[in-house]
Each structure stands twice: as structure tokens, then as C-alpha cells.
Chains A and B, each alone.
Chain A
Amino acid sequence: MVKEKDSVIKDHSGSRLLKDKIFLIGIIIFSVITISPILLIIGKLIVKGYRQISLDFLIETTPNTFEAMTSIANGERIPGGIANGITGTLLMVLLAAVIAIPIGLITGIYLYENQEKRLAGVIRNISDILQGVPSIVLGLIAYLWVVKHVTQGFSALAGSTALAIMMLPMIVRSTEETFKMIPNAIKEAALALGVPYYRVILQILIPTGFSGLLTGILLSISRVIGETAPLMLTALGSSVINWDVTKPTSSIPLLIWEFYNDPNMVDLIWSSSLLLMGIVLAFNLISKQIAARRR
């Protein structure tokens, strides 16, 4: 048991503390840089976009290029709005949700019930991989499946198919995670009373985890609302309001893409983007709020 008595080693504490400070300042600066785009982007959208937003903008369909050109030449506000995009987005996202929610919920429940089973492991992995598939590839798939073989042309249904495949893995994951957090005792209490299993799911699990499920669904919707690329390959776009799922349909992002490519309409990109951003942020914040309240 020898003890090194003369351990007078220089500790350089001065320069080490300086390094410590400099590093922290670097962290703060880089973090500020990281978040600055969100402020810059939203700021830009508001400054450039708010003037075009009005009731007309929400309830009228897109003007044609010629109308837009004349009004610009006369120094007037571009007439019309993006009602065809708003209704298209509503139609396709709603349809996608109708397809994806039941499948996603049931798959999530299956995974939760069969944690250790190999098949569940396979399904979980495939769902994870599916979540990483680029949306443009999902557009290709929906084109090959629906545009070519079901609706024989570009359609809202094809667009919804692509969006639904996008939403599916997110809902599966959030359902499983939500149910995992429900104490087993609640479930067992019901089963001990002899309640059939499907009733336990419908009357115990789903109501108990409702806010968690809702958070997952809203987040998945907020992720697909802004999707453009897969819809270019499937829904194509339309200058009129369309409620027929077998017909080409527009959406807000698709309109932004059209405006971007049309020099006469380009003024409309900011207001459309502002509206789109507002919807996405609203879904995002609402779902976060629900999640926060649950805790």
C-alpha cells in the first residue's frame, strides 16, 4: 500500500476552464444558427404572403394565367384563390387517413399484443423500413398500382394511396408505443371480469390511450399535408374543385408547384405557402399540446 505522496501535477486549470467556456459559447452560437432558418422562413412567408390572403383566396379557384397577367399589368391583386387546392388537400388527406388509421391501429395493437413473437418482429421491422421509403418512390408505387390499374388515370385515390402508405408506419409505431404505456393491470382487470378481448380493445385500451393515438394520427397527418412529389405522380392537379376520387385533383402543395413554374402566378406562392405552413404548424402544435397534457 504505497501512496504517491509527491503528486504535484500541474492541472492547467486556467486554460481548461477557458476551453470549457469557449466550447459552450460555440454550442450556443451553433444552436442559434440551427434554429434561425425556421424564423427566417416563417418571417419571409408572412411578410410576402399575408397581403394575398383574403376570403376570396380561400373560396375561389385558381385563376388562369391570362387573368393573372392582366391583373398584374393593371397593378391589381391577382384574382381568385386556391379553393381547388384546399378541397383537394382535404379530400386526399381525409381519404388517406380513412385508409391508414384502421390498418395502422390494428397493426399497432397486434404488435403490442405479440411483443415477443417473431412475426411481430418482422412486421415491426418492415414497418420501420417502410417509414424510411422516400415519398417520391411511394408516388411511383401508387402510380403503378392505382393510376395504371384502378382508376386508369391520375386520381385523388392514387394520391391518397401514396399518402396512406406514408402515414401507416407512423400510426403503427405510435399505437404500439401508446399501448405499451398503459399499465397492464388495467387490461388484466377487464380480462379478469371475463370481458371478451375485442371489447377490452374497444372499451378499455383505445379510450385509455386515446390522446396518445390522436397525437400520433395528427402528427402523421401534419407530415403528409405538405407532400408534393408523390402527388405530382398520382393526383396530377386540377384547376377546378373536384370531389370525385377517380379524377385528377389538386392540392395546396401542387398549386404552389404550379405557381412556382408560372411567371404570371408566382406572386401566389407566398400566400399559398403561408396557408400551408399555418395548417401544418397548427396540426403539429395541437398534437404536441395533447401529448404534453397527457404527461
Chain B
Amino acid sequence: MLPEEDKNMNENILEIKDPVLTLEGLSVAYDTNVAVKNVSVGFKKNSVTAIMGPSGCGKSTLLRAINRMHELYENIETTGKIILNGQDIMDMSTIKVRRRMGMVFQRPNPFPTMSIYDNVIAGYKLNGIKLKKGQKDDIVERSLQDVTLWDEVKDSLFKKGTFLSGGQQQRLCIARALAFSPEIILLDEPTSALDPIATAKIEDLLVKLKESYTIILVTHNMAQAARISDYSLFMYLGELVEYDKTKKMFTNPKDIRTEEYLTGKFG
């Protein structure tokens, strides 16, 4: 049933054994405008997968489909299957789905009315989960340790998170996503608003975090994908063009469009 073109494309798409997360025929449409077309792909546990592509290719749209953020907006329709650990999550309540996936956004967005401490445990607070003081302290310390922010902020935990530098804020946002112990961390160009030093810190952090989490990262920065990702997805005009181990894709792209993008012919 697949059109000829799709069949050819499939050869360029790596098959992952025992994926932690699988997308099957995922499409996203804004009104009648299809932004992500029939994407099927599996993600490897405890690895960093980068989603690349020129702006407007649908990479952020794909990422946001995974934790069903599009359902916040009436004019966006997502179809297809999202399978997390063998379970289709499309029919589950979004409350449950989103708690299993942490999300980090383009611009650091700590809650401006909450302290650093409250930002880290915001997930618990928002979900109305009551914790004992000791439990909260543990979670806050562990999450901030995980993002290497603890030493920098341990004396100002009860100050507003918005007083931190951009890079610190973004690490705080990662800590906020980690506090819930999610299975997947989704990052949408998390360093695009940061300076190179802060970017390097976040990149180091992501490499460390993959020991415990599965990381999916949207990036417009090829060098970043090359530096830290294990697998790379290349999208173009809403289609998944190529998916492979990052090293392979960067040295030997199969599709001409991937090659042109990686060699800077467009983007």
C-alpha cells in the first residue's frame, strides 16, 4: 500500500532492537497543513537521539507530539501510535503520559513565582502529590546534583529561579524534568538561547544523563548532534528522511538531502 517513494525511504531508516519508545505512522496536522508525515521510528534506551533538519521541517512538532503537547491546541491533530515500553499511550490520560516524559524547552522557563526549591519539585506540587519535608529535600538535592547545579545554588534554594543565569536556569529546568524520574527526556533546542560555555555544560550533562534516561534532543546545530548524540534523525518537509547511528550518518549519509544538509548546502 505504501507509495513507491516511501518504500525507498524506509531503507534509510535504521531499525532499533527493543526500542524503549516507538512511533508508528505518526502524523501531525495544523488545520489542514500536515507538518509531520507518517513517521515510524524506534528510540534506543539510554542513548541520545538527535532530531535534525532545517527550520520548518517539523522536528519540534514531532518532539511535541511524543508527550502529546499538541492536544493543548484545538487546531492540531495527531494520528498514529506512540508505544512506550510496549504500551500504546495515545489513549492514556495525558496526565499519566506526560509524567513519564520530561520536557525541556527552547528558552529556559523556570516558574517565575516559585523559588529554586519549588521549581524542582513543581511536578509534585502541580500534581497535588503531598511529600514529607525530608522526601522533598532528597528529591531537590538529588535532582540538582544530577544537573550539577547543587553546589551553585545550595545556599540560595529559596530565592526565585529567575535570578539565575540563562545556563543555570536551563539546568534548573532539566532538574525540574528529572525530579519526577521520567523514562524519556524530550529537549527542544535546549541550548539555542545560551552562550557557548553554558551550552557546553548542558551538552556534558546530557551525555552523563543518558546513563539513566533516554534522551531525545531536537537541535538545529549539526555540530551539537555530532558531539553528543548516538543516533540521528534527519527530517525534511515533515518527512523522516534518514535515521542512523550518528557517526554513520555524518560520515556516510545515504539520502542526497541529508548529505546536502550536512554539508551546508541548505538549512
Whether chain A touches chain B in the assembled complex (some CB pair under 8 Å): yes
Interface residues, chain A, with chain B CB atoms under 8 Å away: 1-5, 7, 9, 11-13, 16-17
In the complex, which residues of chain A have a beta carbon less than 8 angstroms from the beta carbon of B211?
A: 1
Q: Say whether B24 faces chain A, with CB atoms less than 8 Å apart.
A: no
Q: Closest B residue to A19 by CB, please name it.
A: B128
Q: Say whether B93 faces chain A, with CB atoms less than 8 Å apart.
A: yes
Would you list 18 pairs from A and B whose C-beta atoms are within 8 A, ordered by A residue?
A1-B146, A1-B212, A2-B142, A3-B212, A3-B213, A4-B181, A5-B181, A7-B181, A11-B95, A11-B96, A11-B99, A11-B127, A11-B129, A12-B128, A13-B96, A16-B127, A17-B93, A17-B95
In the complex, which residues of chain B have a beta carbon less than 8 angstroms from the beta carbon of A16?
A: 95, 127-128
Task: Count contacts between A and B, CB distance < 8 Å.
Answer: 28
Q: How far is the CA of A251 from the CA of B107 in the complex (A)?
A: 57
Chain B residues within 8 Å of chain A by Cβ, number: 16
Q: Which residues of B (143-195) have their CB < 8 Å from a CB of A?
A: 146, 180-181
In the complex, which residues of chain A have a beta carbon less than 8 angstroms from the beta carbon of B93?
A: 13, 17
Q: Say whether B245 faces chain A, with CB atoms less than 8 Å apart.
A: no
Q: How far is the CA of A3 from the CA of B138 in the complex (A)?
A: 12
Q: How far is the CA of A1 from the CA of B148 in the complex (A)?
A: 11
State how many angstroms separate the Cβ of A261 from the closest Cβ of chain B.
52
Identify which of A1, A2, A5, A9 contacts B129 (C-beta below 8 A). A9
Q: How far is the CA of A12 from the CA of B126 in the complex (A)?
A: 12
Main secondary structure, interface of A, reads: loop
Q: Closest A residue to B139 by CB, please name it.
A: A4
Interface residues, chain B, with chain A CB atoms under 8 Å away: 93, 95-96, 99, 127-129, 142, 146, 180-181, 208-209, 211-213
Q: How far is the CA of A3 from the CA of B146 in the complex (A)?
A: 10
Excluding A2-B142, A11-B99, A13-B96, 5 further A-B contacts by CB distance (< 8 Å) are A1-B146, A3-B213, A7-B180, A12-B128, A16-B127
State how many angstroms separate the Cβ of A23 from the closest Cβ of chain B.
14
In the complex, which residues of chain B have a beta carbon less than 8 angstroms from the beta carbon of A2?
A: 142
Q: Closest B residue to A5 by CB, please name it.
A: B181
Q: Is the CB of A13 within 8 A of B129?
A: no
State how many angstroms separate the Cβ of A181 from the closest Cβ of chain B.
26
Identify which of B95, B180, B181, B208 contacts A13 (C-beta below 8 A). B95
In the complex, which residues of chain A have a beta carbon less than 8 angstroms from the beta carbon of B99?
A: 11
In the complex, which residues of chain B have a beta carbon less than 8 angstroms from the beta carbon of A7?
A: 180-181
Q: How far is the CA of A50 from the CA of B93 in the complex (A)?
A: 55
Q: A7-B180, A11-B127, A12-B128 are in contact. Are A1 and B95 (CB under 8 A)?
A: no
Q: How far is the CA of A183 from the CA of B99 in the complex (A)?
A: 46
In the complex, which residues of chain B have a beta carbon less than 8 angstroms from the beta carbon of A9?
A: 129
Q: Is the CB of A3 within 8 A of B95?
A: no
Q: How far is the CA of A229 from the CA of B181 in the complex (A)?
A: 64
Q: How far is the CA of A5 from the CA of B213 in the complex (A)?
A: 11
